Amino acid sequence: MSDMTTGLIWGIGSLALVVSALVARQLPMKDWVKMALAWVAIFGLVFLVIRTWQAVT
């Protein structure tokens, strides 16, 4: 399996996890958007930490 395929599978799995968590809570749209932005921030920070770690090592 190539790196791109692995990354794509990871990304789709992460997106499915976030969407299922938001849908299961049955929130109003305003809260749904806030939670979605929080999830984007979390995954963005994890991505930056991993990229920084790879650059340092």
- Percentages (nearest 5) of helix, strand, coil residues in the chain: 90, 0, 10
pLDDT given at position 1: 65
pLDDT given at position 45: 94
Q: What count of other Cβ atoms lies within 10 Å of the Cβ of residue 18?
A: 17
pLDDT given at position 27: 78
How far CA 35 is from CA of 10, 16, 30, 41, in Å, comes to: 20, 14, 9, 10
pLDDT in tens, 19-46: 888 788 887 888 878 888 998 899 899 9
